[in-house]
Structure 1
Amino acid sequence: MMSLIKYEILQAVAEVQSFTKAAEQLGLTQSAISHAISSLEKEFGFPLIHRSRAGVKLTTDGQTMLLAMRKVLQAEELLQQQAAHITGVTKGTVRIGLISSISTKWMPSIIRVMEQRYPGIKIELREGDYYEIEQWLVSGEVDCGFLNRASFKQFQYIPLIKDPLMCIVSSNSSLYGQKLIDLKETENEHFIMPSYKGTNDVITMFEKHTIKPNIRFELFDESGIISMVEHHLGVSILPKLVLTGLPSNVRAIPFKQETFRIIGLSTTYNISPATEKFMEILMEWLEGNKDIDYLSKGTY
């Protein structure tokens, strides 16, 4: 058990890059944090932490060891959850990697149901892009994550919804009055490209239909993209899920071609009871939401 506490300390130090902040987070003294790290370094025989004026960071060896420690901590968490499950008490922690549209549109309602039905389960949310969520899954920092494709073989991927990709145009655009837009027509407009690491749904769609957009800007933030369109600086393509409260001079118009992204949930194959309960609530919520093109129909 003492080793597990040390592993938790190293994990906290790696996340906040500070002994002081890690001590505050874990409710320990700074000297206890320092002693635990020194004890681990002595036990393993090599440095785990690099100290500098900018703060503390894991050494390369420290990063390797933390990956192994996270697996031990996850196994301990799973063990405790299974014991609680046997005694009829559902508790534990589920850590979820989210894209922004999911955290805004889905999670408040889902968390409310989770808290009502399983008050013993703690939910931790971490927001990023597809690439970051994949990395968190690989490193064990999250138990499940929302992605737009299957990633690595060690994870199962459950497609959940089809989210239409819409053309976002301002009243100054020649496309503004159309009911449907042909993808080819976007080549004649200045284009604002959604930019993020990982598989880019818009770029993938353009490549599929051999479209060569006239890219003027590349932005990560959807609200920034919409603002650019609002000020007549170009057109863009965004998922329907992120489009609420558009400015009065901006329209979201569907394409003649079938254009959509798939959003699914990626998990390890050996999921914890807490993660399993989250998945049950998620799919129950999706099935009951008539505005969503749900794919899995309550099975996984």
Structure 2
Amino acid sequence: MSLVKYEILSKVAEQMSFTKAAETLGLTQSAVSHAISSLEKELGFALIHRSRTGMTLTSEGQTMLVHMRHVLDADELLQQEAAQILGLTRGKVRIGVISSISSNWMPEIIQIMDNNYPGIQVELREGDYFEIEQWLQSGEVDAGFLNGEKSDQFQFIELRHDPLLCIVSDKSPLYDKEEIDIVELENMPFIMTSYRGKNDVKLLLEQYHVKPNIRFELSEEVGIISMITHNLGMSILPKLVIDRFPASLRTIPLKQGGYRTIGLALKHQASPVTKKFAEILKTWVEEQN
């Protein structure tokens, strides 16, 4: 059995598509299909269930994929350690990112990595906190951004406290306030963030026993801001996601404060390239403060 076949299965499982996996790997769809069929023949059982509605991993496929990813990770680590011995820094690091990080931080971080460590290939995969934690556990990413969820399974490098701010339209009775007492949000029309995993806004409201009138729950900040612009409610969002929004809106600090903790989670036995990425990231964030 070859590592190439393991990598193909891993990419097919990630994309849930032979076509997309082939495009990502630079192969033909028939080559990807042949590799999976060959792997199934070598193992003696099916890895993928194919139907008219799409494809899913079989239970055996899910079990084998976990072990194959461990083998791929071990091979990547071996290559990186060898490169380090030779005085080179090269390899691949897969990062799970939330949308506000991919748009605000990653362009400069990637630029720094490309300029100073051209041998390091950075792959980004965008999702919410819940998905990123799942990817870390399954080995689909080497590191990922989480909001303070510490776990014995990972190292957690705290990077920044991102303030939570109240967002109101110019039609809101709270528009002219310099700060808002969170209790003033009781029964007010509210657009709630629907992040999976730890939801900092819900936790803050629960901490002060405040129950706004939740009109909508949306996962995309763009949709939340649009709702507020049309005077359909207010919301609380992290500062990092609201750098640019319509002039009719205001961000107002909360009297009680409140923030989300942005950090990078990575394996305890992280690869040299993952450690280098974390080092570059931490230095960059410190320089921004």
State the TM-score bracket (shorter-chain normalisation).
Answer: over 0.9
Contact 1:190 1:214 in 2 (8 A): yes
Q: Does 1:216 align with 2:233?
A: no
* Distance in 1 between residues matched to 2:23 and 2:108, nearest whole Å: 31
* Distance in 2 between residues matched to 1:229 and 1:24, nearest whole Å: 39
Structure 2 residue matching 1:135: 3-state secondary structure: helix
Over residues 257-278 of structure 1, what are the superposed CA-to-partner deviations in whole Å (9 max), with x where a residue is unaligned? Answer: 0211111110000111111111
Counterpart in 1 of 2:100? 101
User: Could you tell me how far 1:135 is from its partner in structure 2?
Assistant: 0.7
Structure 2 residue matching 1:203: 3-state secondary structure: helix
Over residues 177-199 of structure 1, what are the superposed CA-to-partner deviations in whole Å (9 max), with x where a residue is unaligned? Answer: 11110000011420110112111
Counterpart in 2 of 1:232? 231
Structure 2 residue matching 1:74: 3-state secondary structure: helix
User: Is there any run of 5+ residues in structure 1 with no aligned partner, and where?
Assistant: 291-300
Structure 2 residue matching 1:256: 3-state secondary structure: coil
* Distance in 1 between residues matched to 2:86 and 2:14, nearest whole Å: 33
1:48 partner letter? L
Counterpart in 2 of 1:34? 33
**CA RMSD between the two structures:** 1.5
User: Could you tell me how far 1:218 is from its partner in structure 2?
Assistant: 0.9
Contact 2:187 2:211 in 1 (8 A): no
User: Could you tell me how far 1:34 is from its partner in structure 2?
Assistant: 3.3
User: Could you tell me how far 1:219 is from its partner in structure 2?
Assistant: 1.0
Q: 1:260 to 1:19 in 2, by over 3 A?
A: closer
Counterpart in 2 of 1:74? 73
- Taking structure 1 as the reference length, what is the TM-score of the superposition? 0.92
* Distance in 1 between residues matched to 2:50 and 2:129, nearest whole Å: 31
Structure 1 vs Structure 2: percent identity of aligned residues?
Answer: 63
| Equivalent residue runs for 1:5-44 within 5 Å | 5-44=4-43
- Taking structure 2 as the reference length, what is the TM-score of the superposition? 0.95
Structure 2 residue matching 1:161: 3-state secondary structure: strand
Contact 2:149 2:198 in 1 (8 A): no
Counterpart in 2 of 1:294? none
Counterpart in 1 of 2:269? 270
Counterpart in 2 of 1:182? 181
| Equivalent residue runs for 1:77-156 within 5 Å | 77-156=76-155
Structure 2 residue matching 1:198: 3-state secondary structure: coil
Counterpart in 2 of 1:293? none
User: Could you tell me how far 1:209 is from its partner in structure 2?
Assistant: 1.1
Contact 1:150 1:156 in 2 (8 A): no
1:280 partner letter? E
User: Could you tell me how far 1:5 is from its partner in structure 2?
Assistant: 1.4
1:132 partner letter? E
User: Aligned pairs, how many?
Assistant: 289
11-20 or 281-290, which deviates more: 11-20
